[in-house]
Amino acid sequence: MFKDLKTQLFASSMAAIVLLLLAVWFITRAIYTPAIIIIVLMCIFLVGVNLWFSRFVSEPIENLTEAARHIAAGSYGVRIEKTSENELGRLTDELNSMSEKVAVAEKSRTEFISQVSHELRTPLTAITGWAETIAFDEAVQGDSLRGINIISKEAERLTGMVSEMLEFTRIQDGRFNLRVELIDIAAELEDAIFTYGELMRQAGIEVNYTQPPAEIPLIPGDPERLKQVFLNLLDNAAKHGGDGKKVDVALTADAAGVHISIRDYGRGIPTGELPHVKEKFYKGSSKNRGTGIGLAVCDEIITRHSGQLEIENAEGGGCIAKITLPLNN
């Protein structure tokens, strides 16, 4: 397979062996001057081989490894400069070709998702509106009213999924921007808890909010995007940790930044799935319906704020989402 490169390495090795044997031959016959010259030449030769190996083997392999790492992380369309016509050069061509094909496929998928999401938005809005209108009709009672409420609830769920898909496409095609201003992060978190907390209480889930022991300073951030993260994490806590019937939310700050934690008391996440929960479209063994991109969007928003989102299993059971945001970014 690596015929060209193998030939070059074999020739270099044989040349070094010949030089070494000549030096030994002269030394055994007490002919030291030619032996010294050969040893010096051999040292120069070995230095040259090392430089050649570094330039034409090590560096291309490092470039290929780095490109593969970028592609695996989602940076499709990455190209590597071809530096030779040997096996590594051909491997570079193959990787560049694969990267381009993946980029085209990813672009097509993103465009399809965006188009479908836009097409679904209008009918879903109409369904939700008419369902709410019919629900207020006093003539609609019993099973009919129950059915209308189910329609309304499912339409709202699908609308949320469509919104997530649209957010995903904005991230993918570079249209995802932040409107940063100095914000009161405590107020934004409390608004999210107030917005979603009532729904959780209606579902029998207790929401406990531990207020910060001291005043939290204003931090730079996009209030709408951060509230979106808080609502999504609260929704996840309700969906996946609802068995525990309790969600704890806490906010603190120190020199390292602002820290927000949202914990549920459900079954937690299987250990093998934890490293993947923030990956796009990953749903693991969860049977809850959804797109599998909510946490990926949350992670992107927090990363754009120079922060960090961590998902862990909590001591004593359940799952905990930890957000760290810098005081300045």
Q: For 84-109, what is each residue's pLDDT tens digit? A: 666 677 777 877 787 777 777 777 77
123 versus 160: which is more confidently predicted? 123
Q: Token pair for residue 82?
A: 């071809």
225 and 301 in contact (C-beta within 8 Å)? yes
Q: How far apart (Å, rounded) are the C-alpha atoms in residues 3 and 21?
A: 26
Least confident of 57-71, 204-218, 238-252: 57-71
> Is residue 279 within 8 Å of residue 269, measured between CB atoms?
no
Over 90: is that where the pLDDT of 183 sits? yes
**Predicted TM-score (pTM) above 0.75:** no
Name residue 312's beta-bridge partners.
320
Q: Is 263 left (phi over 0), alpha (psi -120 to 50) or beta?
A: beta
Read off the pLDDT of residues 229-276 as tens digits, 9 standing for 90 and up: 998 899 888 887 666 688 999 999 988 899 999 999 888 888 888 888
Residues 6+ apart with CB under 8 A from 16: 42, 45, 46, 49
Q: What is the pLDDT of residue 323?
A: 95
d(CA 70, CA 65): 9
Which structure tokens are listed for 274?
A: 């934890």
Among residues of the chain, what percentage have pLDDT more than 90? 15
- Sequence length of the chain is 329
Collapsing DSSP to helix, strand or coil, 324 comes out as: strand
Q: Give mean pLDDT, residues 50-76.
A: 70
Q: How much is the pLDDT for 165? A: 73
CB count within 10 Å of CB 295 equals 22
